[in-house]
Amino acid sequence: MTELINFVTVSLILVGIGIYGLVVKRNAIRMIFAIEIIANAANLNLIAFSRYLGDIQGQIFALFAIAIAAAEVAVGLAIIIIAYRLYKDIDVAAYKFLRG
């Protein structure tokens, strides 16, 4: 039980770091990293619970989640590359055509 709580604590700290990064950082790549940290914290959570319950389902779900997160980040990086071509910058504070 204490082992499980250690894993969950680490995962919640990682979620906190991820949300901090998403809110404070203005560099698009850093924001993607922050989202990845949250996604991997969630996966760590799933694997810890799966191990604790002695049930394989959670680990299978974590594998699916990792594969899908990779596809998601590929699309995100492609969008950021287009942004770099348009603005020569990946600072999201520079993107302000849409306001109101």
Task: Work out whether the CA dihedral 26, 40, 42, 2 comes out positive or negative.
Answer: negative
Q: By rule CB under 8 A, what string of x and - marks binding of each residue 26-55 to other proteins?
A: --x--xx--x--xx-xxx-xx--xx-xx-x
User: Is 79 in contact with 15 (CB distance < 8 Å)?
Assistant: no
Tell whether residue 17 is a contact of other proteins (CB under 8 A). no
What sign results for the dihedral spanned by CA atoms 18, 20, 23, 24?
negative
Both tokens assigned to 23? 């809110």
What residues line the site for other proteins (CB under 8 A)? Answer: 15, 18, 22, 28, 31-32, 35, 38-39, 41-43, 45-46, 49-50, 52-53, 55, 57-58, 60-61, 64-65, 68-69, 71-73, 75-76, 78-80, 82-83, 86-87, 92, 95-98, 100
